Structure 1
Amino acid sequence: MTSSQPAPGDRPAGPPSGADPVHVVLAGGGTGGHIEPMLALADALTRRTAAGGGTPRVTCLGTARGMETRLVPARGYDLRLIPPVPLPRKPTPDLLRVPGRVWRAVAETRQLLDELRADVVVGFGGYVALPAYLAARRAGVPVVVHEQNALPGLANRIGARLAARVAVTVPSTPLRGAEHVGMPLRTAISGLDRAARRGEARAEFGLDPDRPTLLVFGGSQGAASLNRAAVAAADALTAAGVQVLHARGPKNTEVTVPARPAGSAPYVVVDYLERMDLAYAAADLALCRSGAVTVAELSAVGLPAAFVPLPIGNGEQRLNALPVVEAGGSVLVADADLSPSWIERELLPLLTDPQALSALAEHAAAAGTPDADERLADLVLQVAGREVALR
């Protein structure tokens, strides 16, 4: 960066009241874990109105191969495409090609930021965020980083060094200048009143209105170890009066449970849950992975869980779950230790004890941050130099 290009911290405050609306550029393509908090922030920003300056404008950055090509337009936001920059996790010959890819992506992204007259760039990590951070630095546009996981990836570790502000979901996240704001979530989740929607939700899935309910899910594609353990524990659960709502994953059609004997609780198997808000409202306890969004959603709605961290990767899923577990709002079990007998021994007593469930739910809710979208919107607009109020 030459001396004529201002650093983000030196950029003057945004235009005065009456000028064009603040323009926020969001970089969070690739996986749902990046895209969902990006869109939740976009929704929070578009609920705001600046005095004399109109509603903030939002543009999302993504690549042609990511889920954002479907999800972003479906939510009504402008999507601009930039070249992807995959970052190898380990040293490989492909690492030698990264600098050239980064250079090209940064050049194209810088042109976009100039064209859009961006006031602030917000990145959520991944291969879309890194070029956005570097291009913003060159253009003198301030950067805000949001990290969803307890262990940050390479893009956000670099971005944090360039950022005006760094927001994190998990308080102990090791990033320079980290501020805990939580995970931005859809208002359908963050505003969910589980008790008020319980009857509707259980009717939607064909469940009994009054039985304790276990929700089993392993993400959009399901999880083989969770499927095996839950199905094998079906007889013990339903015989004890516990009903189950089990999302097996659309490719796992072999996962089935025979019809329950007369008098047993229902065991409902579905391929996919289109309405997670209703699934959460129907449940008293979840058995699930501990991806960052899942942990944030469950704690925001006060639904306790038995978290089964994904047994591959860098251990981030275990760290994602720890704050809620340590707060007494959930339990943790290693994937290798999950079994039908563990479910019978550890979960069945919880599910048949209303007081224990109530205490878990209370502690889970205390660990949540349902207003994280508004917190992050405040932070972003502060960096952009605008005073913007709720509509």
Structure 2
Amino acid sequence: MRDPSIVLAGGGTAGHISPMLAIAEALGRLAPESRCTIIGTPDGLETRLVPRAGYPLRTIDKVPMPRRPGRDALRFPGRFRRAVEESKRILTEESAAAVLGVGGYVCTPVYVAARRLGIPVVIHEANARPGLANRVGARGAHFVGSAFEDTPLRSSQWVGMPMSREISEMGRMDSSQAAAARAEAREQLGLDPERTTMVVTGGSSGALNLNRAIASALPQLLDTGAQVLHLTGRDKAVTDEAGRPLTADGYVQREYLEGMHQAYAAADLMVARAGAATVCEAAAVGVPAVFVPLPIGNGEQELNARGLVDAGGALLVKDEHFTQPWIMRNIRPLLADPRLLLTMREHAAARGITDADERMAQAALSAAGAEAPA
């Protein structure tokens, strides 16, 4: 097939959209003649991120599965049928040779439509606990890739997490290249290029308990000679008793960082939530981490982190236990002894996968009958 048309489906959150766009970019590198179209919903984050990345976006209505009897449950069959028919129309108009889905509400009707049209389906599951859409889509899929090794999804293969090239390429650097990137990133972030560096981030929306705990232990952390880059989240600046942004020698506070690859490059240790992308990116770059899973949901983030923790590349602590005493017992010794961080770095890097984007793109091209040249 000379000009394969690959339709990618997913959306709603950055956790779905970011790997989907990374796969689309890999398709462009492996098969420049291929065409990528993305199906999302009309009100998700994809309406901004997909056009910004330069890909055409087609939309269908979001049809979540009702969780209890009621009006939505009565309307669901008809709404779902319409979403499937709309998906069939889009796949036909795009002459889709393969569908690649990453999960989310939009994917289930697209998977059903592809199956009815005889179009092969390729799936990537980003979480250790798979979502309903990908559990449905995995039945009869041409290929199923997972970000985590023990994901309970039928016939899945552990391929890692598709991520931005800016991050994955750091995992391919030799020691001298990594040292140069580290020094450059620290200078750009207003840090000392020579000091052991801890990066703290609760994500773009911040994490109040992380911020408070780090602030309470800051003097003792800085006493180790380390420095701290604290990404507090938008409108969540950490303040002193007078209400002014907290300041200290060796402490740099920012609400948000546009290019997280700089944070990974600068870090000797990272404190973060345990979203699937963060866990996989830390491993790919070889950055030791302290994961503090979100205290809501049904334990997905703890599952995401478990493999890297068991391998010795990270620590795991519940949000309510992440306190000044815990930090003093567990983080301060790491900052005070670079040998401990080096050992963790080696264990983390051993779990890192940097080519998931290309492996998923290759699977899509194979499904479309357009195997990329080796």
Counterparts of 1:341 and 1:87, CA distance in 2? 43
- The RMSD of aligned alpha carbons is 1.4
* Selected match of 1:110 from 88, 95, 99: 88
Counterparts of 2:35 and 2:369, CA distance in 1? 14
> How far apart are 1:211 and its partner, in Å?
1.2
With over 3 angstroms needed to count, the CA separation of the structure-2 counterparts of 1:102 and 1:235, relative to structure 1, is same
Equivalent residue for 1:135? Answer: 113
* Selected match of 2:265 from 274, 281, 286: 281
Give the SS at the match of 1:196: helix
Equivalent residue for 2:286? Answer: 302
Alignment of 1:154-303 (within 5 A): 154-192=132-170, 193=173, 194-253=178-237, 255=239, 258-260=246-248, 265-303=249-287
State the AA in 2 paired with 1:146: H
Counterparts of 1:95 and 1:350, CA distance in 2? 52
Equivalent residue for 2:341? Answer: 357
Equivalent residue for 1:335? Answer: 319
Q: TM-score, normalised by structure 1?
A: 0.90
Equivalent residue for 1:66? Answer: 44
Counterparts of 1:339 and 1:287, CA distance in 2? 13
Equivalent residue for 1:24? Answer: 6
Tell me, yes or no, if the aligned pair for 1:248 and 1:255 is still in contact at 8 Å.
no
> How far apart are 1:254 and its partner, in Å?
5.0
Counterparts of 2:350 and 2:218, CA distance in 1? 31
* Selected match of 1:145 from 94, 99, 123: 123
> How far apart are 1:96 and its partner, in Å?
3.4
The Cα offsets for residues 101-157 of structure 1, whole Å up to 9 and x where unpaired, read as 211111111000000000000111111111110111111111111100000111111
Counterparts of 2:222 and 2:18, CA distance in 1? 34
Give the SS at the match of 2:151: coil
> How far apart are 1:24 and its partner, in Å?
0.6
> How far apart are 1:300 and its partner, in Å?
0.6
Give the SS at the match of 1:303: coil
Counterparts of 1:259 and 1:160, CA distance in 2? 51
Counterparts of 2:58 and 2:352, CA distance in 1? 33
Equivalent residue for 2:99? Answer: 121
Percent identical among aligned pairs is: 53
With over 3 angstroms needed to count, the CA separation of the structure-2 counterparts of 1:103 and 1:388, relative to structure 1, is same
The Cα offsets for residues 263-302 of structure 1, whole Å up to 9 and x where unpaired, read as xx41111110111111111111011100001111111100
Give the SS at the match of 1:191: helix
> How far apart are 1:252 and its partner, in Å?
1.2
Counterparts of 2:319 and 2:167, CA distance in 1? 27
Equivalent residue for 1:78? Answer: 56
**Residue correspondences, number:** 363
Structure 1 alignment gaps of length 5 or more: 1-14
* Selected match of 1:91 from 55, 58, 68: 68
